[in-house]
Amino acid sequence: MRYFKPSLTLLLTLAAGSTAQSIVDLLEGTPELSNLTSIAVMYPDLITTLSGASNITILAPNNKAFSDAMKMMPAAMAKNTEYIRSLLTYHVLNGTYRAVGFGDDSRFLPTLLTDKKFANLTAGDSQVVKAILMDDHASVYSGLNKTSMVSRADTYFTGGVVHIIDSVLTLPMNVSTTAIAANLTAVAGALAQANLVTTVDTLTSITVFAPSNPAFQAIGNLVGGLSNKQLASILTYHVVPDRAFTSDLTNNQKLRTIQGEELTIRLDDGDVYVNGAKVVASDVITNNGVVHVIDGVLNPNATNDEPDTGASTQAPAFPSATGSSDVPFTSGVLTPTGSRINTSSPSATSSGTGAQPNSAGSITGNVVIAVIGAALAFAAGIMV
Ligand SMILES: *[C@@H]1O[C@H](CO)[C@@H](O)[C@H](O)[C@H]1NC(C)=O
Ligand SMILES: *[C@@H]1O[C@H](CO)[C@@H](O)[C@H](O)[C@H]1NC(C)=O
Ligand SMILES: *[C@@H]1O[C@H](CO)[C@@H](O)[C@H](O)[C@H]1NC(C)=O
Ligand SMILES: *[C@@H]1O[C@H](CO)[C@@H](O)[C@H](O)[C@H]1NC(C)=O
Ligand SMILES: *[C@@H]1O[C@H](CO)[C@@H](O)[C@H](O)[C@H]1NC(C)=O
Ligand SMILES: *[C@@H]1O[C@H](CO)[C@@H](O)[C@H](O)[C@H]1NC(C)=O
Ligand SMILES: *[C@@H]1O[C@H](CO)[C@@H](O)[C@H](O)[C@H]1NC(C)=O
Ligand SMILES: *[C@@H]1O[C@H](CO)[C@@H](O)[C@H](O)[C@H]1NC(C)=O
Ligand SMILES: *[C@@H]1O[C@H](CO)[C@@H](O)[C@H](O)[C@H]1NC(C)=O
């Protein structure tokens, strides 16, 4: 990215009522935020809005964060003002949240991001970041489970508070991209086979309980015999037309799915279960809701399936299921690193470089970089 250098003070003068300790004073007085300042001045209306705002929190990436982000960002992307504007707006929280207020349990804090292209949520739902305070360290999770640490908390300005963070947040992406980044290739492939990708990617404010690859392997003998109608019925039974973070869930809660039948939530000793399946990785924010990874495939014909909360793994919800060594539905599915899985070629799935997510669906390292590259290219594509 090339930085322009219009005078920030000039922009401030143009902006409404500059007072002492304005956000602009704060930015100009903080050398480690000079890259953020250089980018922000390219969006004078944003500066005006922030200068006039009260009761906001700014997550301000430091210069190291920007230099890391720019290494991954294709040039076309850096020039995509619509994308950069949404990305910057995602760093502004609606409310004053001191780092001590983040809390030991995850809190989902509303941001000012409203562009439907990047946050397709129903009226009343704000796009969020997940904030957590653990052992006195505040951190923030964004799209694709990107983790940013707060390196300097609680600097006040007239409109609220700034936390300096060590990496740029990731804009939440659609469900299919998020699934692939999490190595949830079986559910990604199953959605494609059942023609449901567009549905899950474009519904607003949803919760997706995404079975892990081992969950699909555990019913491996059955998947070949499913009609597309049955597969669609099973998959839509994993989608709830409301956004529910794990902190929203209550014991014995019933959630109506888009398939029509209900799911039952159970909370036990800090663990969350959906029917007979356990949530093994939770609260990955997408552009239209949230994804939780579960260790079993849910069966719409077994709505009374219950967990064995003492067990380390749950029995499949499908009678007569037996496991397979192959991961179903994955032929032709993109891997997190962008290569396509070739089920006839065992080596094909390991052609990527660097860190890989684990089979539980967590997202790590280079996987995220590869997917961000794809997503940035996508966002660049919608520009011109
Ligand atoms: C970005 O930060 C680096 C230090 O990390 C600095 O050398 C560079 O001048 C900064 N660029 C701008 C435009 O502020
Ligand atoms: C600040 O914003 C938060 C979140 O929108 C809201 O709950 C709170 O009432 C606001 N406080 C003030 C003083 O406006
Ligand atoms: C910020 O929160 C307030 C409630 O505290 C709400 O009225 C307002 O619409 C929110 N702004 C945005 C941009 O979401
Ligand atoms: C946003 O949601 C609406 C309603 O579900 C859908 O028609 C539209 O395609 C979605 N837009 C994006 C960018 O996903
Ligand atoms: C559920 O049961 C009905 C009635 O036996 C059957 O038609 C349907 O295919 C079953 N669905 C699945 C997903 O197996
Ligand atoms: C998949 O792997 C097999 C065996 O290595 C190979 O013969 C075949 O050409 C590959 N297919 C694709 C699409 O790469
Ligand atoms: C990703 O999923 C595939 C298929 O289940 C599996 O073979 C691979 O080991 C997983 N990657 C990691 C690092 O767990
Ligand atoms: C998100 O990342 C954290 C650590 O950074 C990890 O503990 C958690 O399991 C991850 N969640 C998912 C869904 O990958
Ligand atoms: C989901 O996002 C990816 C890029 O991140 C894009 O290629 C794909 O078209 C999107 N899916 C839909 C249905 O819009």
Among all bound ligands, the one having the nearest atom to the CA of 299 is: 5
From residue 37, alpha-carbon distances to 88, 164, 200 in Å are 11, 13, 37
In a domain? residue 269:
yes
Together in a domain, 29 and 90 = yes
Together in a domain, 268 and 159 = no
Close Cβ partners of 175 (under 8 Å, ≥ 6 residues apart): 200, 201, 206, 208, 286, 288, 289, 291
Together in a domain, 197 and 114 = no
Question: Which residue CA neighbors atom 12 of ligand 4 most closely?
Answer: 202
Residue 307 has pLDDT above 50, yes or no: yes
Section 47-59 average pLDDT:
94
Section 313-332 average pLDDT:
88
> Rounded to the nearest 5°, which phi and psi values hold at 370?
-60, -45
Q: How far is the CA of 212 from the centre of ligand 6 (A)?
A: 25
234-277 pLDDT, tens digit each: 999 999 999 999 999 999 999 999 999 999 999 999 999 999 99
Residue 231 has pLDDT above 90, yes or no: yes
Question: Which residue CA neighbors atom 13 of ligand 9 most closely?
Answer: 198
In a domain? residue 59:
yes
Of 294, 310, 336, the residue that ends a domain is 294
Together in a domain, 32 and 136 = yes
Among all bound ligands, the one having the nearest atom to the CA of 356 is: 7
Domain housing 76: 23-165
Question: Which residue CA neighbors atom 7 of ligand 5 most closely?
Answer: 230
In a domain? residue 156:
yes
Together in a domain, 150 and 53 = yes
200 in Cβ contact with 290 (< 8 Å): no
Q: What per-residue confidence (pLDDT) applies to 354?
A: 32
Residue 191 tokens read as 């959605």
Of 114, 132, 165, the residue that ends a domain is 165
Question: Which residue CA neighbors atom 8 of ligand 7 most closely?
Answer: 359
- Determine the 3-state secondary structure of 185 from DSSP: helix
Section 41-61 average pLDDT:
93
Residues forming beta bridges with residue 111, ordered by sequence position: 93
Together in a domain, 116 and 203 = no
Together in a domain, 219 and 266 = yes
Structural domain count of the chain:
2
Q: How far is the CA of 48 from the centre of ligand 7 (A)?
A: 47
88-138 pLDDT, tens digit each: 999 999 999 999 888 778 899 999 999 999 999 999 899 999 999 988 899
Least confident of 4-18, 156-170, 286-300: 4-18
334, 340, 344: residue to mutate for ligand 6 pocket, most atoms within 8 A of CB: 344
In a domain? residue 111:
yes
Of 267, 294, 321, the residue that ends a domain is 294
Give the CATH number for residue 278: 2.30.180.10
Evaluate: CB of 120 within 6 angstroms of ligand 4: yes
Together in a domain, 224 and 273 = yes
Close Cβ partners of 28 (under 8 Å, ≥ 6 residues apart): 8, 9, 37
Among all bound ligands, the one having the nearest atom to the CA of 331 is: 6
Of the pLDDT bands very low, low, confident and very high (cuts 50, 70, 90), residue 363 is low
Q: How far is the CA of 223 from the centre of ligand 8 (A)?
A: 29
Residue 14 has pLDDT above 70, yes or no: no
Cβ neighbours of 275 (radius 10 Å): 24
